[in-house]
């Protein structure tokens, strides 16, 4: 059974860069059936899809974050990463990594496994 674990600083200063890593265990990150995903949730609010990456490095980003966002993958280390630049207090959230699964091999991916999440606070 796949497990995902987020890691990274819990506090980032305004205007700086938020960097998180998600380590994947129990399954291959190089499987063609999955996209590896970042989702966030501001305190007390709903869920926002940030973006995801295929094992080849192909990405889809949320246009609302695209200008500040980079998602990368390291298949040799079985991890993928999030980098968000020029952060503000609005980027304070619990950040989740998740696996999106192409259950029918038809190019549509539904989330099936989630990490526990990590709270990132943007504050000076």
Partner 1 sequence: DIQMTQSPSSLSASVGDRVTITCRASQDIDNYLAWFQQKPGKAPKSLIYAASSLQSGVPSKFSGSGSGTDFTLTISNLQPEDFATYYCQQYYSHPLTFGPGTKVDIK
Q: Does residue number 47 form part of the binding site for partner 1 (CB under 8 A)?
A: yes
The 17-46 site mask, x for binding partner 1 (CB under 8 A), equals -----------------------------x
Identify which of residues 11 and 47 has a Cβ nearer to partner 1 in the complex.
47
Q: Which of 48, 55, 75, 78 binds partner 1 (CB under 8 A)?
A: 48
Compute CA 103 distance to the chain's CA centroid, rounded to the nearest angstrom.
20
**CB-side exposure of 23: number of CA atoms within 13 Å?**
5
CA 33/CA 12 separation, integer angstroms: 34
Q: How far is CA 90 from CA 46, 71, 80, 93, 94, in A?
A: 13, 19, 23, 8, 12
Euclidean distance between CA atoms 10 and 18, whole angstroms = 9
Shortest Cβ 124–partner 1 spacing (Å): 26
Tell me, by CB under 8 A, how many residues bind partner 1: 23
Residues lying near partner 1 in the complex (CB under 8 A): 46-49, 60, 62-64, 96, 100-101, 103-104, 108-117
């Amino acid at each position: 059974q796949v497990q995902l674990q987020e890691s990274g600083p819990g506090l980032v200063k305004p205007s700086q860069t938020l960097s998180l890593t998600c380590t994947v265990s129990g399954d291959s990150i190089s499987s063609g059936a999955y996209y590896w995903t970042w989702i966030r949730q501001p305190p007390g609010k709903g869920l926002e899809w940030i973006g995801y990456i295929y094992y080849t490095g192909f990405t889809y980003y949320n246009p609302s974050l695209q200008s500040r966002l980079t998602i990368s993958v390291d298949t040799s280390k079985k991890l993928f990463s999030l980098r968000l630049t020029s952060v503000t207090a609005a980027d304070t959230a619990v950040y989740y990594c998740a696996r999106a699964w192409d259950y029918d091999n038809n190019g549509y991916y539904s989330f099936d496994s989630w990490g526990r999440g990590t709270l990132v606070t943007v504050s000076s």
